[in-house]
Structure 1
């Protein structure tokens, strides 16, 4: 008789467990650089340790072109963005100059550009940078490379840049994924 009473409880527990498993989320797919141009791929022997989405602004300034009298252009001044994790929580910032990636834990780093590749009309280019040694222990410690991918917006303004508005600044919205790599 006791086994008869345990069987319905076991059946109920099994059903609850199966139900919970059915609602679990599948793990996020691992980042792949397969579809990226070779120029911005991180060399073999490295692994992704952090994926972020940078959401912010890029400032441009109207300046005279170097060595070209009477000609003017919008010049990149620097970024100001929040770095969000894939769940939308802010985990750091990206600002410059110099281009600096800073984690909320106080660690930060700068980097040297290695390559860029076109990202479509109206979008800043894809980019690969080699990280300089990080300042502080934390999320940025040991980072070897950073990729800027999935860019949206951020190109120089379409507004006129001429002698009448030299020195004026324009702010352009942008978004990009920043993928952080370490040696494997």
Structure 2
């Protein structure tokens, strides 16, 4: 895979399908789908790698960067400034071999009137990579692991 943010056939945002465990509840409609490339950063705590934060750029179907994903987790549109902060829904995860799990997240807050305005749910789908290293680590050490995913954003109908 190249270094561009453009979707590849295997990771086309329009083709991402959600496992039953991470389905958006009825009464919501899809408002945006973006392809993400970035890193999952881990810190060594008590001899084990623990998730610290994600850092990813989200791109549209044409490969144009349209949003940033950071600790919170928060997604911020670089086009219109709107944002959504969300938290994982308990039990709403789908394990993926060799990758961070697919997740369903429920919005805690939104801001602005753009693409993320009124978002109720976020899905992390079609994940690749991002898994914490195995084995022991030195207290306080940090490492970042490349990952890719498709994020979908839904709002109430």
| TM-score, normalised via structure 1 length | 0.73
Match of 1:161 in 2: 136
Kindly report which structure 2 residues correspond to 1:77-96, keeping only aligned pairs within 5 A, or say none: 77-96=52-71
Contact 2:95 2:102 in 1 (8 A): yes
- Which has more helix, going by share of residues? 1
The ranges of structure 1 where at least 4 consecutive aligned residues each deviate by more than 3 angstroms after the TM superposition are 28-33
Preserved CA contact (<8 Å) 1:93 1:101: yes
Look up the match of 1:173: 146
- The gaps in structure 2 that reach 5 residues or longer are 1-11
Checking the alignment, whether the CA contact within 8 Å between 1:133 and 1:141 is kept in structure 2 is: no
Identify the structure with bigger relative contact order (alpha carbons < 8 Å, sequence gap 6+).
Answer: 2
**1:99-147 Cα deviation digits (max 9, x unpaired):** 1100111111111211211112x10000000112312221110111010
Higher radius of gyration, 1 or 2:
1
Matches of residues 22-101 of structure 1 in structure 2 within 5 Å? 33=17, 36-64=18-46, 72-96=47-71, 98-101=72-75
Compute the displacement of 1:44 (Å): 1.4
More strand by share: 2
Give the 3 Å change call, closer, same or farther, for CA 166–107 of structure 1 in structure 2: same
Structure 1 gap ranges (5+): 1-27, 65-71
User: Could you tell me which residue of structure 1 aligns to residue 117 of structure 2?
Assistant: 141
Q: How many residue pairs end up in the alignment?
A: 143
Check conservation: 2:81, 2:114, Cα contact below 8 A.
yes
Q: Distance in 2 between matches of 1:52 and 1:132?
A: 20
